Amino acid sequence: MKKSSLKTSIIVILCAALCLGYYYYLSHRDTGKEGEMSEVEMIVSKDLENSYPKTAREVVKFYNRILECYYSREYSEEQLARMTEQARLLMDEELRQNNPSESYLESVKADINSYVEDKKSISDVNVEGSKEIEYKTKNGQDYAYVDVSYFLKNRKGDKKSGRSSQTYILRKDEDSKWRILGFYQE
């Protein structure tokens, strides 16, 4: 009887040691390339053709990650161009036609320069919860209205920090993907 309890104890201790060793391995291993990538690199490397956001809220959240990167100004000119292309992929065909690549890139650069001149920065972005999103159907097309609050810091002495709100209007395309049709400020 003592031999079997000794064997059982050794097996339990061995299993526990293996579990602890595996846990240590998982918690201390190199996380690979993604762990080393900056937010800008993750955005420009996202394959929106094969991994498009599934909900209207996710589309708006990804678009706002791009916006935050624009204003961080921690990227190369090539990365900025690639980020604007990623942003355009989130747009409805109608909005994309109204914002050709080159003019959209120039518009983004002008907006970034305006933020730099006014010494503004986005300190926080709050996308409303999925239960608060308003959905409508008009003329057989599905629309979603997603509210976003931006908290702005202003480092210029004469202006205060504040909050800005926008409502994004999204429309489902023929592939049932939500695309940004436009937005308006509240």
For residue 54, the 8-state DSSP code is S
Average pLDDT of span 152-179: 85
Amino acid type, 44: V
- 109 token code pair: 């650069």
- 79 token code pair: 């990365």
pTM over 0.85? The answer is: no
- C-alpha 72/C-alpha 43 separation (Å) is 13
Average pLDDT of span 141-152: 94
- C-alpha 16/C-alpha 6 separation (Å) is 15
Q: How many CB atoms lie within 10 A of CB 148?
A: 21
Q: What is the pLDDT of residues 64-118, one digit of tens each?
A: 999 999 988 889 999 999 999 999 999 999 999 999 999 999 999 999 998 888 8
Sign of CA dihedral 111, 147, 176, 98: negative
- C-alpha 148/C-alpha 133 separation (Å) is 11
Query: 101-117 vs 56-72: helix axis angle to the nearest 10?
Result: 60
- C-alpha 181/C-alpha 172 separation (Å) is 9
- C-alpha 60/C-alpha 80 separation (Å) is 19
